[in-house]
Structure 1
C-alpha cells in the first residue's frame, strides 16, 4: 500500500545481459567509492574526534567527494541554482528518492536530520551514523531535547537538512509539510539567530523514461531501484533550487514558518516541471 495517493508504482524491472553488464561496470566502482570513503571517514574520525570533538573540519568533505563521484559514475548531472545557506541554521527539501542523499551532499557540506529508526537499518544506518546524521523522534514531546541537540550541532558549525514531508514521493509533487520539527528551531536561544532555507529537488528523467523514473516511494524496495539506476543506458539530471533564507524569528509560530517554506519550495518545484513540459 502506498504512503500517499497518486501514482502507481512502476513494475519490477527485468534485466537482460547488457543491463547486467552496466550494473557491474557502474556498481563495482560505486561500491568501492562509497565503502572506501566510509572506511577513510572512520579512520580519520579516530584523529578528528579527540582533536576537534563534535566539530568535523575534514570528514564532511570526504562525504561530499564520495557523493560527487558516485553521481558521476551513474552519469547523473547536478545543476545548482541559488546559493546554499551560509547563516547558522538548517535547510528543508522535498524528498523523492534515496538519491536525494547523494544529490544534496554533492552540492554542499551538510548533516541530515532523520527519524530515529533509520539508525538501525542495515547498511544505510551505518552510513548515516558515520556521516554525522542527527537522529530524532518526530514527536512534540521531544521538541525541547531536540532543540538542545540542534543548538549543540549548530554551535559547532554544522548545517542541518531535513525532509518535512515525512516520506518520499514520485518526485512529481510536493506533499504538505509536517510542522512538528519546526518547533525545535523556535525555542529560546535558537530562534533569534536561526535561518531556514528551502531547497527544491527536481529530477529530470532520461528521454523515453517515465517522468517519475527517479522516484522511490510507497512499498518500492531499495535493491531493485538501485539496480534500475545502475542498469540505465543513460541518465537525466537533477536541479537544486536554493531559495533565499528566512529568519525564524520573523514568523509568529511554527505553522506559519512551515507554510512559508512549503509554498516557496512548491512554487519553484512546479515552475521547473512546467518549464520541462514546454
Structure 2
C-alpha cells in the first residue's frame, strides 16, 4: 500500500510538471507514452499478470469490451494508446479521478439524457485519430458472463467511419475465475483497492477479436448483438483454455513448470 501511494504521488507530480510545461509553452504534450508507462506500473503494483491473445488493430478504432472492474482500464491502457469512457463518479475518486481527467477520460453522467452529447464527443475523438474504449454493458459485472450491449455508443463508429474491435477480458486466480477483482454494487473504491493489494498476483487474459469495418448502412443494434456474441464466445474460450488446464495439473507437472525458464 505504501509503494502504491508513493507511485500515485509520483504520477501526480509528473502530470503536474506536464501541465506546467504546457502552460509555459502554450502547447499540449502527448501523454501516450506517459499513460502507457503509468498503467504498466500500476498493474505491476496491483499484482496483475497480463496474458494477451489475438492481434491489436493499429490506428484509431472504437474498442468495445466487457467490464469487470476499474482495473480493466489500466490493464488495457498499458499496451494501447487509448481514451476511455467512464462514469462521472470516477472523476471524484481520490487521486485516480484527477489522473483520469489528465489522461483525457471522457466522463458520462448516468441517466442524465446527454447520450447525444457523449456520442458527438466520441465521434470527434475518433475523427481526431484517437482510439476510445467503451463498455457497452453500462456497468461492471462479476465476470461470469456478459450482459446485453447497449447500442447507442456504437453509432459513433458509424458516423466517424471508424472500425470497431471487440475485446474480451477474464480474471483468473489459482486456476479458477477470480471473485476478488470484480468491482460491483456499492463496493467502496479504497476498500476494494486494499483487498487487491493484500492478495497474491492475479492473471488477466485479454483476447483481441478481429476488427470489423462498419458502414453508414449498419444498424447499431445489429452491431451490438454481433460484438456481444464475439465477447461472450471469447469469454467461453478463455475459460475452457485456462480453467480445465489448471484442474488437470498434477503436482509433478506443477513442479516441472515452475523450473522452466520464463
Structure 2: stretches of 5+ with no match in the other structure: 245-262
State yes or no: 1:40 paired with 2:8.
Answer: no
Inter-CA distance 211–122: structure 2 relative to 1 (3 Å threshold): closer
TM-score (normalizing by structure 1): 0.78
TM-score (normalizing by structure 2): 0.82
Q: How does 1:139-158 map to 2 (within 5 A)?
A: 142-158=114-130
State yes or no: 1:179 paired with 2:151.
Answer: yes
Structure 2 CA distance, aligned partners of 1:98 and 1:236? 15
Instruction: Answer with 196-205 or 213-222: which moved more.
Output: 213-222
Of 184, 191, 205, the residue aligned with 1:239 is 205
Q: Which residue of 2 aligns with 1:28?
A: 2
Structure 1 CA distance, aligned partners of 2:112 and 2:231? 24
Structure 1 CA distance, aligned partners of 2:81 and 2:134? 14
Structure 2 CA distance, aligned partners of 1:116 and 1:259? 26
Contact 1:183 1:254 in 2 (8 A): yes
Instruction: Answer with 42-51 or 129-138: which moved more.
Output: 42-51
For residues 192-237 of structure 1, what are the alpha-carbon distances to aligned partners after superposition, in whole Å with 9 as ceiling and x for unaligned?
x301111111111136x773232121222222221111111x2121
Structure 1: stretches of 5+ with no match in the other structure: 1-26
Q: Which residue of 2 aligns with 1:100?
A: 72
Structure 1 CA distance, aligned partners of 2:68 and 2:210? 22
Of 164, 169, 172, the residue aligned with 2:136 is 164
Contact 1:172 1:212 in 2 (8 A): no
Inter-CA distance 145–236: structure 2 relative to 1 (3 Å threshold): closer
Contact 1:93 1:161 in 2 (8 A): yes
| 3-state SS of 2:164 partner | strand
Structure 2 CA distance, aligned partners of 1:141 and 1:248? 26
